[in-house]
Structure 1
Amino acid sequence: METLPEIAKLHHRDDYVDIHLQVVSIDEVVYQNVEASNQNAFHGSAASGYQPSLERSLDGSSLRQILGNNEGVGFGSGNETESYPDGGREAWLVVLGSFVGVVFHFGLINSLGPIQTYISTHQLSDVAPSTIAWIFSIFLTTNFGFCLLGGTLFDYYGSRIPMSVGVVLTTGGLLGTANAQYVYQFILFFSLCTGLGLAFLQTPLFCLVAHWFSQKRALAAGLVTLGVSVGGVIIPLMLSSLYSSVGFTWAIRVLASLCFVTSGVSIWLTKERFRKTSNGVLATPEGQTQISKPLLYRFAGYINNVFDLKAFKNPRFTLCALGMAGAEVYLITAITYFSSYAMAQGVDEKAAYLMITVINASGVLGRSLPGILAYKFGAFNVIVGMLTAVTVCIFALWFPLGHNLSVLYTFAVLLGITSASVLSLAPVCLAQVTPIQSYGRCYAMVFFMVAMGNLVFIPLSGLLIGTGSKENYGHFVLFCGFLSALVTTWFCAARYYLVGGKISVRV
């Protein structure tokens, strides 16, 4: 049995501290030589006499006493000692399936501009722009807010049920949107039905990799979120082409067909490894005890516990959640108004829309490279560096030199790389401070915060922009810069709660 100093030695390699602060693998970190025994013990075997437990004593002291009595998300109460494949055919097929689903999911979100432009000049040409804006505001709020339902279903029943519900709602909503002619029809079919369907799809697509990867989690998550940039380039260009060739109705029908096919492929390729049982502990799908109560009856009971407010007693989770939600909100807001900012600076409409494609295309590098860097240096270290970089770019390039076309294109590339890096690494950081059996719900809680943030900050940004003068847009840029600095501070504080003031720490 190792003493505490001996345990500390396990994490030092050539004076470079390698701290692996993932709650779900504390025993794996301490007892690195019993990974095989963990697997047997998880299935009820007493192989090698090893019985993993979070409360296992180390020379009279429990892990809770050594690491601190963390409430809420910091430590779960279940058996969180399962080892992770970190590779293999099944694990990489999950990555591929999640990637395919994300291409459509965020490709559609990144297509809001082309959809808004078309309906405002055709079906809703006689409707005020402020009224049309509610269609997309409600869509984003529904999409991010109802991730809570998808997260709860995912934790207890796995990925198949929420993803199947999501593909039905999304496909049906898009087919209805194709024939919509009035504002209430767009709100019903697009904002509510399609937004709700995407909410059920989103949580499993981004959370499944956490079931299969630990050491390589940042790399796997980076590959999955690469689909955000790929979809952000392909689908807007596809819609723009279809509008002129077959019209809006058939363009959206093609999009609905793409939803059905890509989501079907995702459901086929992906599967979870853990589910949360009725008493809150982890179980494999094969080993989970069946309960006689109907699914809907049980789910109604789980809805009462959708918000785990005790999670926010843990400052690491709270700060990480604030940082992740804040990053999503201010980056979405900045990108939403970027083309209109460019037009206010005298850039022609075609070039202004092209900049959005530049941002999304640059995100391909931004979502692949950080996963590799995070594997070597740690997700928190990389995300803090990227947030610092985007904050510097806002104050050094966008605000003082945004009137210059070359600088705008340069900033668009840098914004695409840094924003994609932040958005892809934020869920990885969240996974490091969240027990695996509650990750879906905690992830969904963060995106509920994103939904509320979008409902507030997008209209607030519109108020700052006002008449659309250069001066007003300057205020908007400063607003984005201060939000970026605040988010950077939150992630730095979360990192401090994890490792203190140490600099050369992989976390």
Structure 2
Amino acid sequence: MATPKTDTIITTQAYHPSPSDTPTNAGPSTLHSNIYNNIHDEETPPQTAFSILEPPAHLSAITTHTTHIRPLDPDDTFPDGGTRSWLVVLGSFFLLMASYGMMNSTGVLQNYFATHQLSNYSTSAVGWIPGLFTFFGLVLSVQIGPMFDRYGPTGILIAGSCCYVAGLLILAECKLYWHFMLTLGVVMGSGAAFLSTAAMAAVPQWFDRRVGLAMGWAMSGAGVGGVTFPLVLRAAFARFGYRWAIRLLALMVAVMCGVGIGLVRSRLPRGQSKSSINLRAFRDTRFTWLTLGTFGLELEVFAGLGLYPTYVVMQGFSVSTSVILLSILNVFSTIGRLITGLIADKYGRINTQTGLICLGALAIFTIWLPFGHTLPGLYVFSCVFGLASGSFLSLAPACIGQISKASEVGGRFGICYSIVSLATLICIPIGGEMLEKVGSRAMVAYLGGVLVVALGMFVMARWASLSYRWRWQAKI
């Protein structure tokens, strides 16, 4: 049985109650209870390891030293380690490898479709297919997140795995444009939404102080998938042909999903989510800024990953070179996820995210834009930008989990990524249109500009976390 938690309030100045503050028959115990209830009002943002605590104004003149006993809230206690917690991380790793790893590899599929089955369509038209896949992979999280909070992950993961693997098997038979839109875009996208939402919502329930490290390890699965799938597809297309290459991919994904179903568990009691869409989350300005910033990150990252192979081929290099460059980017992205988790737990998640967004923007404007037509420049850019962008997708959920109650994490992930999904829907078609109409350099400059705007949103989120008081050395 859990031990009750003890809260101690110590202040130093004199308190002079007014008649309206305290009933005439109220003793010290009643006075403290009223004060305690005011402090812990349900609208107050939850405290975490990174909370900045500012004493309320009405407590600035209180003198008391009282101990208050209250039952232990499961939201307040995190295992922050142990076998069960790390098995959840391992399961999430495989689920994100299957879902987000495929999203990171859509550039290879898009390039193959554009040169084979859909060679009569423009780059922007073909770009709607992976865009729709990523859109459904995120927009449905607004419903799946509260389902996770209420029912737990197992049923969600089984449904998502069946949908995802079945979509891959059907994809092997696709020939027409609408076939790809329906199968890859809608069916597989829906399955990916179930897998990725449950995987990302499970980890913050088990970690608090080390959630950056845990999310980094889990999200590194997306990077490993982004390396593995392009290399497997490249070899399988050449050796077995399109159909058996996709069927091989379906087998790999089925194994990953099976491991995830067996390992991912929820820590909190079920039935804590009361509504599918809780717009009151936007009363928290920190959450609003983080959502806007994540929107910008996804707009840039998925456009870059989706169009990078096409961009490389347009510079006169081979398809094989484009696959290698994308794989290198994902290798360094995986390394970045593993490293930044440790850094984020030490120096602050929003701080780390902000610094790495700066590095990513510098890589675009100082390497990709001026030297993107050279092979050495592309290799250097793949390394530097991959290292920086590894945090973009892994730390964003950690930042949201940091400012949310554990029982609300699934719902907040859902509403955030349902909005962010609009960015993934339009990012590749917009970038593809720019490639065809205004050229590759304009597209690169556009992606860099989007990243700068996202940087501004995360700076505002950091400022809001400090109650709009700027402190350079605060750990946020």
The equivalent of 1:371 in structure 2 is 341
After TM superposition, list the pairs within 5 Å mapping 1:200-279 onto structure 2. Answer: 200-277=194-271
Q: 1:354 aligns with which of 286, 300, 324?
A: 324
Larger displacement relative to structure 2 (405-414 or 102-111):
102-111
Larger displacement relative to structure 2 (482-491 or 156-165):
482-491
Q: 1:3 aligns with which of 9, 23, 27?
A: 9
The equivalent of 2:474 in structure 1 is 505
Could you list the per-position Cα deviations for residues 130-152 of structure 1 after superposition, in whole angstroms to 9, with x for gaps in the alignment? Answer: 44333222222111111223212
Please give the alpha-carbon distance, in whole angstroms, between the structure 2 residues aligned to 1:120 and 1:340: 10
Shift of 1:275: 4.0
Q: 2:192 aligns with which of 183, 192, 198?
A: 198
Please give the alpha-carbon distance, in whole angstroms, between the structure 2 residues aligned to 1:457 and 1:185: 21
Larger displacement relative to structure 2 (98-107 or 124-133):
124-133
Judge conservation of contact 2:163–2:187 (CA < 8 Å) in 1.
yes
Could you list the per-position Cα deviations for residues 423-458 of structure 1 after superposition, in whole angstroms to 9, with x for gaps in the alignment? Answer: 211111110112221211211222212211123333
Give the TM-score normalised by structure 1: 0.78
Judge conservation of contact 2:307–2:428 (CA < 8 Å) in 1.
no
Q: 1:61 aligns with which of 30, 35, 52?
A: 35
Residues 430 and 213 of structure 1: is their aligned pair in 2 closer, same or farther, counting only changes over 3 Å?
same
Q: Which runs of 5+ in 1 are unaligned?
A: 7-55, 281-301
Q: Which runs of 5+ in 2 are unaligned?
A: 1-6, 13-29, 52-71
The equivalent of 2:457 in structure 1 is 490
Within the alignment, does 1:97 sit opposite 2:73 as a pair?
no
Judge conservation of contact 1:153–1:161 (CA < 8 Å) in 2.
no
Please give the alpha-carbon distance, in whole angstroms, between the structure 2 residues aligned to 1:90 and 1:218: 17
Secondary structure of the residue that 1:366 maps to in structure 2? helix
User: Which residue identity does 2:444 align to in structure 1?
Assistant: V
After TM superposition, list the pairs within 5 Å mapping 1:20-99 onto structure 2. Answer: 61-62=35-36, 65=39, 70=44, 81-99=75-93
Shift of 1:459: 2.6
Please give the alpha-carbon distance, in whole angstroms, between the structure 2 residues aligned to 1:99 and 1:71: 29
Shift of 1:406: 1.8
The equivalent of 1:401 in structure 2 is 371
Could you list the per-position Cα deviations for residues 239-295 of structure 1 after superposition, in whole angstroms to 9, with x for gaps in the alignment? Answer: 1111122221122112112222211111111100114526x5xxxxxxxxxxxxxxx
Give the TM-score normalised by structure 2: 0.83
Judge conservation of contact 2:367–2:381 (CA < 8 Å) in 1.
yes
Could you list the per-position Cα deviations for residues 141-178 of structure 1 after superposition, in whole angstroms to 9, with x for gaps in the alignment? Answer: 11111122321211110001111110010111111111
After TM superposition, list the pairs within 5 Å mapping 1:166-181 onto structure 2. Answer: 166-181=160-175
Residues 477 and 381 of structure 1: is their aligned pair in 2 closer, same or farther, counting only changes over 3 Å?
same
Please give the alpha-carbon distance, in whole angstroms, between the structure 2 residues aligned to 1:253 and 1:339: 23
Q: 1:440 aligns with which of 399, 407, 410?
A: 410
Judge conservation of contact 1:177–1:252 (CA < 8 Å) in 2.
yes
Please give the alpha-carbon distance, in whole angstroms, between the structure 2 residues aligned to 1:498 and 1:444: 21
The equivalent of 2:65 in structure 1 is none
Please give the alpha-carbon distance, in whole angstroms, between the structure 2 residues aligned to 1:116 and 1:462: 11
Please give the alpha-carbon distance, in whole angstroms, between the structure 1 residues aligned to 2:215 and 2:455: 21
Secondary structure of the residue that 2:99 maps to in structure 1? helix
Within the alignment, does 1:342 sit opposite 2:312 as a pair?
yes
Please give the alpha-carbon distance, in whole angstroms, between the structure 1 residues aligned to 2:46 and 2:214: 27
Shift of 1:117: 2.9
Could you list the per-position Cα deviations for residues 67-110 of structure 1 after superposition, in whole angstroms to 9, with x for gaps in the alignment? Answer: 995489999xx956441111111111111111122222223222
Shift of 1:128: 4.9
The equivalent of 1:430 in structure 2 is 400
After TM superposition, list the pairs within 5 Å mapping 1:131-142 onto structure 2. Answer: 131-142=125-136
Within the alignment, does 1:149 sit opposite 2:143 as a pair?
yes
Q: 1:189 aligns with which of 166, 178, 183?
A: 183
Secondary structure of the residue that 1:438 maps to in structure 2? helix
Please give the alpha-carbon distance, in whole angstroms, between the structure 2 residues aligned to 1:457 and 1:116: 14
Secondary structure of the residue that 1:3 maps to in structure 2? strand
Could you list the per-position Cα deviations for residues 197-219 of structure 1 after superposition, in whole angstroms to 9, with x for gaps in the alignment? Answer: 11111111112111111111111
Could you list the per-position Cα deviations for residues 3-36 of structure 1 after superposition, in whole angstroms to 9, with x for gaps in the alignment? Answer: 3669xxxxxxxxxxxxxxxxxxxxxxxxxxxxxx
Within the alignment, does 1:477 sit opposite 2:444 as a pair?
yes
Larger displacement relative to structure 2 (411-420 or 240-249):
240-249
Number of paired residues? 429
Please give the alpha-carbon distance, in whole angstroms, between the structure 1 residues aligned to 2:43 and 2:117: 59
The equivalent of 1:49 in structure 2 is none
Please give the alpha-carbon distance, in whole angstroms, between the structure 2 residues aligned to 1:340 and 1:118: 10
Within the alignment, does 1:163 sit opposite 2:154 as a pair?
no
